[in-house]
Structure 1
Amino acid sequence: MIVRDPVHGDVEFTEPERAVLDTPEVQRLRGIKQLGTSYLVYPGALHTRFDHSTGTMAVAKRIIRALRSSGNEIGEEDELLVTVTSLLHDIAHVPFGHTFEDERKILPSHDRGDRVRAFLDDGELADVLVDLGIRQKVLELLLSGEPLENSLEVPWIAQIVKDAISSDLLDYLRRDSYFTGLEQNYDDRVFRYFILTDYDVGRSSKVVLAVNLGKEGMVRQDARSEVLHLLRMRYFLTERVYYHHAKQASGAMVSKALELSIRNGFAPSDLKWMNDWTLFEALKSRPLGKKLISCIEGRRLYKRALVLGPEIGASKRNELISLYNRPGHERESMEETILDGLDQRGASVGEGDVIIHCPDLGTMKEARVFARDEEGMVEKLHRHRRPISKDLDHIENQYLAIWNFFVFTRADIAAKANEVARGLFPSEGANFRPKDYI
């Protein structure tokens, strides 16, 4: 079977791959948008986890072809493990999963054991994998923890799919850029830089996937530049898309709707078979959820009543993250305190009208890819000596510079909310930004 992909062109599926693709568990991903609420900022960002999964498989096949062309022997069984794991790497994702899991921390990670096993232990997908004789191996690959070289005897298979620079990254960099309309791309020559090489792990040596930054004792400037370009491209998308203030506000609103619904009897386990639309309908069946989701559907997004940025200093920033990054007493208590202050100022407010949103610091895990230098040393990229370490430090500092702590509120109470929040979070860097810029 051949499928036309808007990013990678024609993608060919073998019969085993097609059997995996045509299961309800995988087809469910068609209803889950890859970028959550980013479509409210970039109208074209309607691509799905399904598109990304098939694209990840397409890129994985390109990496395998490149490795074979450079003399590596990769058998059909190993290739099937790579392609099927690529198709299934997001199998346990729920609607708006990154917001719920990574930003708001109200759900455990989608790659946790029980979440993945719920799809691979029984059902049509499990039956297909059993028939192919690979269910247990695929499960081990999907559940392998980081660092992969420690958790797997043969780490390179999983590294192709989900390592720092992998088919996952190489697909979503292009796909997210394409569907948001942002002019970003990388050179296909990057596939030639992948190698399989030995790496000492404790007392044993394992074959790992790495990028080759050297040739005949000389530095490959083209390889070094392209790897850095990938890291800069990832940062660009983080700044322009993933951390966009309207995306942050709308994501916080969806999350708050789910938090309030869980508090009133919604079972998180029901998310397993939901897509974006069925989740919205389920949340709208509850009064507080309906208020927030209706605002999102009408693009009446909450505004930034207060913004604290990196200018508050690392110590204060880390304190805020420790207090407000996760659900619980501190976050909910502060929201209630702001609501009380608004009520005292004559504002008509209720539960869910104020949302504290405090993301974790952005990370550059791509710098943890294995790299072989001109002297043949194999080590994680961020451990290599200058000059590349200086470039990595610069990009890492850019991630620190775009961190923000937000107090989001309804537009009509943003000014009063700023008055209240300024008293609770006194700082010269506390900015009031009531205007919606898009």
Structure 2
Amino acid sequence: MPLSKRFSVLRDPVHGDIYLTHEELAVLDTRAMQRLRGIKQLGMTHLVYPGAVHTRFDHSIGSVHMAARMIEAIRQNAEMTPRECLGVGEEEARIIRLAALVHDVTHIPFGHNVEDQTGLFRRHDTAYRFQRALDEKGELGRVLERFGVRRDVVNTLLASEGEEEAGREVPPYWSQILADTISCDILDYLQRDAYFTGLNISVDPRVVNYFRIERKSGNLYIDLTKRELLREDILSEVVRLLEARYYFSERVYYHHAKVAAGALMARAVELASYADLVREEDFYDQTDASVVDLLERRAERADTVTKNRIRHLTGCLRARRLPKRVCVFPRYANVEVQEELVERTFSPGAHKERVAIEERVRDLVRFSTGREVEFLVYCPSAHMQLKEAQTHVQWPGEKDIRPLSDYSASVPRLADLERSYRDLWKFYCFADATDTDLLRKVQEIAVAEFPGAKNVYRIEEAPRLGT
């Protein structure tokens, strides 16, 4: 019996029993996949929610499980409506499952902070990173090549990230099952993140049952119709999933302490990179724990000032001495200057301007107080949006499938959710100090760096012990 037909069962705390083929187990046993056991799914979130120590390895297995559930539902729906819908063949399912299994293999430790915030490294989802990780010269690539699926898996992953050339090589639904706006990826990580953070958020995977593939376009969609009537129950399940995604963004993904910890790591990597102590490639085989050790070892080669700054930053991470907020510029108070703030500090190529701002504030604080302070700026993308609302649906009375967001006027909860998601945007300034007077001085200097922007954060007196 071929390995693709033989299954073993793993017990997962979120989904229960998960069945993996022996091909998939062989992929899991490669060094590249085993490394993911050391990459936390939520980065620094465990410093806020201690239970959030689940890994990208766990999530990779869960994604295969949810892909299998989606494929099963698609097949059942295709049997009921064969003229309108496509099914998923056995060989297709094999490729999609393997692609789901390896979709996170390019992640580096704290990658969202290091890649997005510093702008120094290529993002994990670029063609270069996928092609390098799955190159047939490497162990993982050789395993996939031996199974005869490497090229299809690579093209599926590239298509899921918008690579047009790869998208022409595979059917649209291969990549959409993997990474569409509602996909096996989000259907696993929302449930997994809820379980390990301990947040009481219900994510009902029942929505999986309504996935179909449109025969004429090959696109994945959710059918919201029955006898030309709107299925309010299915629509409600979709919106509840979007509400869960928003809730996690508010409570977990953009929690200020998680952001502060990520900014510390990004600064340590930045200092090491500017001093030619590390390169992007040095991070490809690292874990969360080993990368901190790497930075500390490489810091020994640097000049005294750089060495001490890097070791101070990694020491803060190890001891959870997180920098404090000194300024918060939320979108609701800064709509007119939001684009300017992003352009100065977050846009491609802007990292040098951001570093110049940070060093200038640091110098001014030293000049006016005689104190050394690390000053950190964090700016998310201006285009924070509820991308899951872009999932395609069949709406009653409509001939073609369209993004759910096109029907916001008919779904008030959706419109409110999209506005709330945009208003999550906050521009932060942090300083690694605890003295209230020093923090206020940093705030005064920082506010002057961003004229026209409104800071809403007030620095309170630190509570005294015993009071």
TM-score norm. by structure 1 comes to 0.93
Question: Does the Cα contact within 8 Å between 2:63 and 2:188 map onto a contact in 1?
Answer: yes
* 1:110-138 alpha-carbon deviations (Å, 9 max, x no partner): 11111111111122211111111111011
Quote the Cα distance in structure 2 between the aligned partners of 1:423 and 1:108.
Answer: 32
* 1:47-78 alpha-carbon deviations (Å, 9 max, x no partner): 01101100000111111111222225422111
Which one of the candidate residues 446, 451, 463 is aligned to 1:421?
Answer: 446
* TM-superposed deviation, 1:384: 3.3
1:178 correspondence with 2:195: yes
For 2:25, what is the secondary structure of its paired residue? helix
1:130–1:343 distance in 2 versus 1, CA, 3 Å: same
The aligned residue for residue 273 of structure 1 is 285
1:293 correspondence with 2:314: yes
Quote the Cα distance in structure 1 between the aligned partners of 2:343 and 2:453.
Answer: 21
1:139 correspondence with 2:154: yes
Aligned partner letter, 2:359: E
For 1:206, what is the secondary structure of its paired residue? coil
For 1:111, what is the secondary structure of its paired residue? coil
1:143–1:235 distance in 2 versus 1, CA, 3 Å: same
* TM-superposed deviation, 1:314: 2.0
Quote the Cα distance in structure 1 between the aligned partners of 2:351 and 2:208.
Answer: 45
Question: Does the Cα contact within 8 Å between 2:66 and 2:184 map onto a contact in 1?
Answer: yes
* 1:16-37 alpha-carbon deviations (Å, 9 max, x no partner): 1111111111111111001010
RMSD: 2.0
1:85 correspondence with 2:99: yes
The aligned residue for residue 33 of structure 1 is 40
For 1:45, what is the secondary structure of its paired residue? coil
Question: Does the Cα contact within 8 Å between 2:160 and 2:175 map onto a contact in 1?
Answer: no
Question: Does the Cα contact within 8 Å between 1:257 and 1:283 map onto a contact in 2?
Answer: yes
* TM-superposed deviation, 1:424: 2.5
The aligned residue for residue 400 of structure 1 is 422
Aligned partner letter, 1:431: V
* TM-superposed deviation, 1:212: 0.8
Question: Does the Cα contact within 8 Å between 1:197 and 1:210 map onto a contact in 2?
Answer: yes
Which one of the candidate residues 104, 115, 118 is aligned to 1:101?
Answer: 115
Structure 1 window deviating more from structure 2 (68-77 vs 236-245): it is 68-77
Quote the Cα distance in structure 2 between the aligned partners of 1:114 and 1:148.
Answer: 11
Quote the Cα distance in structure 2 between the aligned partners of 1:58 and 1:133.
Answer: 22
1:241 correspondence with 2:241: no
Quote the Cα distance in structure 2 between the aligned partners of 1:377 and 1:272.
Answer: 43
> Structure 2: any 5+ residue segments left out of the alignment?
1-7, 80-85, 300-306
Question: Does the Cα contact within 8 Å between 1:186 and 1:230 map onto a contact in 2?
Answer: yes
Pairing of 1:261-410 with structure 2 (within 5 A): 261-265=272-276, 266-285=278-297, 286=299, 287=307, 288-326=309-347, 327-349=350-372, 353-361=374-382, 362-375=384-397, 376-384=399-407, 386-388=409-411, 390-410=412-432
Question: Does the Cα contact within 8 Å between 1:101 and 1:109 map onto a contact in 2?
Answer: yes
Quote the Cα distance in structure 1 between the aligned partners of 2:448 and 2:20.
Answer: 59
* 1:259-280 alpha-carbon deviations (Å, 9 max, x no partner): 1110111111111100111101
Which one of the candidate residues 68, 71, 89 is aligned to 1:75?
Answer: 89
TM-score norm. by structure 2 comes to 0.87
For 2:409, what is the secondary structure of its paired residue? coil
Aligned partner letter, 2:144: L
> Structure 1: any 5+ residue segments left out of the alignment?
199-204
Pairing of 1:150-299 with structure 2 (within 5 A): 151-152=167-168, 153-198=170-215, 205-265=216-276, 266-285=278-297, 286=299, 287=307, 288-299=309-320
For 2:343, what is the secondary structure of its paired residue? helix
Aligned partner letter, 1:164: T
* 1:310-348 alpha-carbon deviations (Å, 9 max, x no partner): 243322011001111155332112112211221122232
Q: Give the % identical residues.
A: 37
For 1:289, what is the secondary structure of its paired residue? helix
For 1:144, what is the secondary structure of its paired residue? helix
The aligned residue for residue 201 of structure 1 is none
How many residue pairs match? The answer is 428
Aligned partner letter, 2:376: I
Aligned partner letter, 1:137: D
Question: Does the Cα contact within 8 Å between 1:356 and 1:408 map onto a contact in 2?
Answer: yes
Question: Does the Cα contact within 8 Å between 1:305 and 1:414 map onto a contact in 2?
Answer: yes
